[in-house]
Amino acid sequence: MKLKVKTPGKMVVVHNKPTRSPVIIDIVNDEQLNFYEMFCRTQSLEYEIIYEDEEAKAKKPELLYDDSEETEPVIEELKTGRLLDELIK
User: The domain containing residue 41 runs over which residues?
Assistant: 2-59
Q: What is the mean pLDDT of the chain?
A: 77
Number of domains in the chain: 1
- pTM assigned to the model: 0.54
Q: Evaluate whether residue 66 is within a structural domain.
A: no
Q: Evaluate whether residue 50 is within a structural domain.
A: yes
**Confidence band of 54 (pLDDT split at 50, 70, 90):** low
Alpha carbon distance 50, 39 (integer Å)? 17
Q: Evaluate whether residue 17 is within a structural domain.
A: yes
Q: Evaluate whether residue 6 is within a structural domain.
A: yes
Q: Evaluate whether residue 46 is within a structural domain.
A: yes
pLDDT in tens, 29-49: 889 889 889 988 888 889 898
